[in-house]
A and B are shown apart, each in its own frame.
Chain A
């Protein structure tokens, strides 16, 4: 009906018919809600999109992203072409951040309950704030406060460290399948506190031990970008060899996969070292330093033809020699060895990683294109103190197991109740605490045990920053800004809340953070304070005459970096390697029907912190094409012998419990292992995660690396049993019927030029 708003107002105002018109022919409500454009923010123009730069917080890599915003709603995530880590690229996980923002099961306002059971009731943010402040104020022994977060970096690390320093208590960073051992190995071999940058792009021979670097390891988008160039960039095509106890996505892409026995990675690396030193192929100075001047004889136990080497690695002497020759071959320089993931998740984890990274010293690739580059300190001095850097170092399994029971526990950004094996006793600690606060935006397993939930904004609605680790070889500070207004008025900012708590409790953190004189500082103020110092240094990617100009500049570009500010320290001289035969031990059953269980991070839902996002649940696993489930990968021949078919429900039993998962049978599972993705099996985490799959972490044995006490998560042995049940497993494979195509082979192969 052709009635305009103006006509309507005129009619209803000027005549008695108004009431009738109002009742009988209602103007749609939406029309009455339309605001006049003069009141709208300047960047909100109907039908026009805006792109804002920020950083992605879906995983620890924190890529720079740009987000398309149309009329106040975030529509699409793309990589930020300027950002030094990912340079315009991104992955499936960063894409799905939008579903976290608009997730139907977000907690929209603070929830409280007396005691640890019973119903949550909604309260206001101010009331919730009062309750935390009271619980902290009334805590008799301040040391019994514990703050658990993801590894923190940048200004959030600074804030948390100041808070803990002036209030008391402790901070522990949680990382599922933690990289404790890797950091220790980098420190031992290169004397570096920070993870280095691996120049995959320019490498000619990339040897990776267990590191699933194309999928989930450290900085996968950056490595994938480099990998594309290694394959078909300007130079000669580089070769990638993956030594891995599992056929990971990265192993699937390798030119050559060496299926090593679990835990034998270090022995293999030592054996390669033996060959390189014996034949005088590598750097002699490094060889002397590593062996204490004793040469290859010091490594005699690791000679490739020693049957113990064969037993530990499952790799023939000739193949080990071949690997050593190729790695040290002058035609293959620069070559690069990296290691991590399952290679460091054994009782011999540190031994393995030390041996692997020491290979780099033999080919002398530190600070060489195609090799290893050290990263400089963070750009701001205050972000470089020991306390602040420690906020980014995850706690080891032993730390969790032996932690003092907290009375007040604050959990932010992580879900340790789901992510720690039961032996860590974290659940007991939560149960026994007097007051548990969760800042989760979702009702995850940890939040469900809390007394108070203060839902945090998602990262697309909040301020933040990041000092990437591993960095891009030069000083970088990524900036996270709200690209949309908070979708729910009841959520808040964790940083703001910590600052408010500091003030309420009379801690002097405002002063030590340089925010004195500001009555109610926000986290944004803290970031600006840091940015101001960068501005005054007048260097790097953004320079401006005024601070406002600088601030706008770094917001626009998604951060600040200075390509000149590389690490200037010279590497420490290599220290002597431990030549003692490692202790490779497992826990769990042996004999018939028993296997090494190799768990792995899912390419889409990672450690499970993204299991609530339907795009990621539906993104097929690259190797198996499985979706929406936990599965157990079994070798084709083994399965034939045992009569196991794809979809048969298997019982997987370790000393710590049993889970049930369908079998996925494929030819690339080493017959002595089975492998399972982690991250599923949520009892509560929103509609898309609940009841999907099982929690693989719940059956891991509490066995640790002998040197670092990190969880040896690849050292559990299991027994598998076919239950006789069978399900139709959800997977993409077979979505379209395969047809005979032998004539026109889909994937054609060429030989290298």
Chain B
């Protein structure tokens, strides 16, 4: 159960300068969250479900060409455009800074996906199907979503609930970066990321790495920014700019 004593505000920092586009987060998320198999046919229909995915943008022409990677996941906006349009309150903002989706309220209007500026909501156009043996892998802590339901990144809320239960409920300690990591309570994408691009934690805890990174990088000339900041959605996922050694000198061949 939600522990009322501790007031968390979960969030993430994504350092794009570290991201290599390796897809470890993508597959980790699919393993943890019982995401239906994205078959070839589903990709052709443009209906693949990837709660976190890596976008690749091109800049320039050969030979001065750059590919830039950016992991995109639900931004867990404070002013989430998806929330007010849901007629059945299936998506709402919880008291821990997360935008959550209640699957058994969802009636599949898809208004939320329409209104999401980040295109991170995914609709189950089909009943998910697994061969009988592969079902043995399914995570018992996560509901399998049926056809007609909207789904999206949950910050692996099942792990956070467990962390609250174990760390705060049983041990009576406060959740810190360390005990989240030690207990395998961090979101699956964060645990997997080989380059430590993704950092997860509690923005309400001034000691947490995310709070300190926010403080360090959200200064004049710092690397911190938010996606489509002008929209005023106030995301709880913040990004750190890619560093380009040619940024000031243009297309000079050497640093």
Contact = CB atoms under 8 A, between A and B. Distances in A.
A398 interface: no
Contacts of A75: 137-140
Nearest to A72: B136
Nearest to B162: A49
Contact of A90 (B16, B18, B192): B192
Given A622-B22, A748-B225, A256 B62 contact: no
Nearest to B120: A736
Nearest to B182: A81
Contact of A99 (B24, B69, B134): B134
A259 B62 CA distance: 9
A249 B119 contact: no
A670 B61 CA distance: 10
B21 A253 contact: yes
Given A625-B56, A667-B58, A730-B40, A239 B22 contact: no
Contact of B62 (A76, A667, A731): A667
A79 B133 contact: no
A104 B134 CA distance: 7
B228 A741 contact: yes
Contacts of A86: 194
B22 A224 contact: yes
Interface stretch (A225-233, A526-534, A702-710): A225-233
Contact of B136 (A73, A92, A628, A737): A73
A343 to B, nearest CB: 18
A253 B139 contact: no
Contacts, number: 268
A623 to B, nearest CB: 6
B121 to A, nearest CB: 10
User: Could you say which of B26, B43, B239 has the most chain A C-beta atoms within 10 Å of its C-beta?
Assistant: B43
B239 A748 contact: yes
Given A75-B139, A615-B31, A748-B239, A667 B65 contact: yes
A265 B30 CA distance: 39
Contacts of A144: none
A700 interface: no
B164 interface: no
Interface in A721-742: 728, 730-737, 741
A252 B18 contact: no
A224 B194 contact: yes
Interface stretch (B3-11, B84-92, B167-175, B247-255): B247-255
B227 to A, nearest CB: 6
A415 B197 CA distance: 35
Contacts of B228: 741, 744, 746
Interface string A102-113: 111010000000
Chain A interface bracket (under 10, 10 to 19, 20 to 34, 35 or more): 35 or more
A101 B31 CA distance: 13
A694 interface: no
Nearest to A604: B23
B132 interface: yes
Interface in A208-238: 214-215, 220-221, 224-225, 227-229, 231-232, 237
Nearest to B239: A748
B39 interface: yes
A603 B197 CA distance: 18
A614 to B, nearest CB: 5
A625 B47 CA distance: 14
B207 interface: no
B241 A252 contact: no
Interface string A247-272: 10110110111010000000000000
Given A603-B23, A746-B57, A228 B197 contact: yes
Interface string A616-628: 1111101101011
A335 interface: no
A104 B48 contact: no
B1 interface: no
Contact of B196 (A77, A78, A225, A749): A225
Contacts of B107: none
B54 to A, nearest CB: 7
A104 B131 contact: yes
A611 interface: no
B28 interface: yes
Contact of A735 (B48, B231, B240): B48
A513 interface: no
Given A239-B255, A322-B253, A667-B62, A747 B21 contact: no
A91 interface: yes
Most chain-B CB neighbours within 10 Å: which of A228, A735, A741?
A: A735
Interface string B32-63: 10000111100110111010011111101111
B193 interface: yes
A96 interface: yes
Interface string B212-238: 000000000001010111110000000
B43 A627 contact: yes
Contact of A89 (B32, B47, B137, B193): B193
A730 B45 CA distance: 9
A191 interface: no
Contacts of B95: none
Contacts of B138: 75
Interface string A13-40: 0000000000000000000000000000
A652 interface: no
A636 interface: yes
Contact of A225 (B139, B191, B194, B229): B194
Interface string A46-75: 010001000000000000001010110111
A635 interface: yes
B21 to A, nearest CB: 4
A746 B245 CA distance: 19
A752 B62 contact: no
B12 interface: no
A232 B43 contact: no
A219 to B, nearest CB: 11
Given A102-B133, A103-B133, A603-B22, A751 B244 contact: yes
A252 B39 CA distance: 27
A692 B40 CA distance: 9
Contacts of A616: 27
Nearest to B63: A259
A666 interface: yes
A747 B24 CA distance: 20
Contact of B241 (A256, A259, A750): A750
Given A51-B184, A746-B70, A255 B245 contact: yes
Contacts of B48: 618, 627, 732, 735
A387 interface: no
Interface in A85-140: 86, 88-92, 95-96, 98-99, 101-104, 106
A669 interface: yes
B165 interface: no
B58 A666 contact: yes
Nearest to B15: A232
B142 to A, nearest CB: 10
A104 B129 CA distance: 13
Contacts of B28: 92, 95
Interface in B109-127: 119
Contact of A622 (B16, B54, B65, B192): B54
Interface in A586-643: 603-604, 614-620, 622-623, 625, 627-629, 635-637
26 contacts: A74-B137, A78-B188, A81-B181, A89-B192, A91-B22, A96-B27, A98-B137, A227-B18, A259-B62, A326-B255, A614-B37, A615-B37, A617-B40, A618-B30, A622-B69, A623-B21, A627-B43, A628-B40, A667-B62, A735-B47, A743-B230, A746-B57, A747-B70, A749-B242, A750-B242, A752-B245
Top 6 closest pairs, chain A to chain B, by CB: A228-B195, A104-B131, A224-B194, A622-B21, A751-B247, A736-B119
Given A229-B196, A239-B255, 11 more contacts: A78-B192, A86-B194, A92-B27, A98-B137, A225-B194, A259-B62, A622-B69, A667-B60, A731-B43, A732-B53, A736-B119
